[in-house]
Amino acid sequence: MTTHARRTVLAGLLGTALMLAGAAPVLAQAWPARPVTLVVPFAAGGTTDIIGRIVGQKLGEALRQPVVIDNRPGAGGTLGASVVARAQPDGYTFLLATVAHTMAPGIYKKLPYEFTRDLDPVGLVALTPNVLLVNPAIPAKTVPELIAYIRQHPGKVNYGSAGIGSTEHLSGELFRAMTGTDLSHVPYKGGAPMMTDLIAGQIQMAIETSPSAAPHVRSGAVKALAVTTARRSSAYPGVPTLDESGVKGFEVTTWYALVAPHGTPAEIEQRVGAELAKVLKQPEVQKRFEEQGVTAGNMNAQQLAAFIRTETAKWGKVAKESGASAE
């Protein structure tokens, strides 16, 4: 090959390399060119759905493309997680993950995905207490009275959850184990249908997330006996913690986080994380969260990754000690 020919080939290769190097920024700048899907892995009307719609609307405004909520309930949130884990990592599909996704590995013998491997953390969205609720027909005004009632009616008090492996499920199992009571678990496909049956008296008890519970507590449709966090919640004035109520050491905080399919371009994940942080500081969002007893998240992707690892280990231990499992 002549010197001239070699120079021509090298120039062509260099030009191609420069074009490829510039492709990622161009693609990142063009994103999003169409609506973005946010998969909510529980039924419409529940807490995850409420938080997803509040944040999704504001993220859509920031990105100048609609954020479409796609409810995929089932299997304690793992069905929706599986959908996102298999989705194209192109920045057009995200999951609103919850604490349930760190509970699932200790509950399910086999999952079609691995949470920490197949999904990338983007940012923590919110945290909220769970609330111990009973149907008004239950003659208990305090947690000790409820425990006494359950012991007087072994196996006849049913508690509901948003599905096997959900935060309501593990909270209920933790309560059962720590109080030594005989409770029966009734799983649903989300918090909303579970609340409907609790109000109707089809089940007698639930340890539900605050946003789903709050309006029904205010209306008197259900009674709130305690919150699950270490401190009392401003959303439930006068309602004690479970620890205060005699179930010493009981503490559960439900959280929600934005995650993406592994392999989603870093530029997109970083932009969504940055926009999410701005959305969570908006006064309107904070006001709506406060009304629901929710605290805005404040973790970036790296902090969230470490938090998820800690939560997975914690709930794996709880599942093992309580004996909770899914066939």
In this structure, whether the domain defined by 129-227 belongs to CATH 3.40.190.10 is answered with yes
Per-residue confidence in pLDDT tens, the chain, 327 aa: 555 555 544 444 444 444 444 444 444 569 999 999 999 999 999 889 999 999 999 999 999 999 999 999 988 899 999 999 999 999 999 999 999 999 999 989 899 999 999 999 999 999 999 999 999 999 999 999 999 999 999 999 999 998 888 889 999 999 999 999 999 999 998 888 999 999 999 999 999 998 889 899 999 999 999 999 999 998 888 999 999 999 999 999 999 999 999 999 999 999 999 999 999 999 999 999 988 889 999 999 999 999 999 999 988 988 888 787 876
Q: Which residue ranges make up each domain of the chain?
A: 33-128+253-322, 129-227
SS3 253: strand
| CATH of region 33-128+253-322, choose from 3.40.50.620, 3.40.190.150, 3.60.10.10, 3.90.226.10 | 3.40.190.150
Domains 33-128+253-322 and 129-227 share a fold: yes
**CB under 8 Å to 242, separation ≥6 — which residues?**
132, 143, 175, 226, 227, 228, 250, 251
Contact predicate 241/229, CB 8 Å: yes
Long-range contacts of 264-271 (CB under 8 A, 24+ apart): 264/89, 264/90, 264/91, 264/120, 265/24, 265/27, 265/28, 265/31, 265/89, 265/90, 265/91, 267/24, 267/25, 267/28, 268/28, 268/31, 268/91, 269/91, 269/120, 269/122, 269/301, 270/301, 271/28, 271/31
pTM score of the predicted model:
0.82
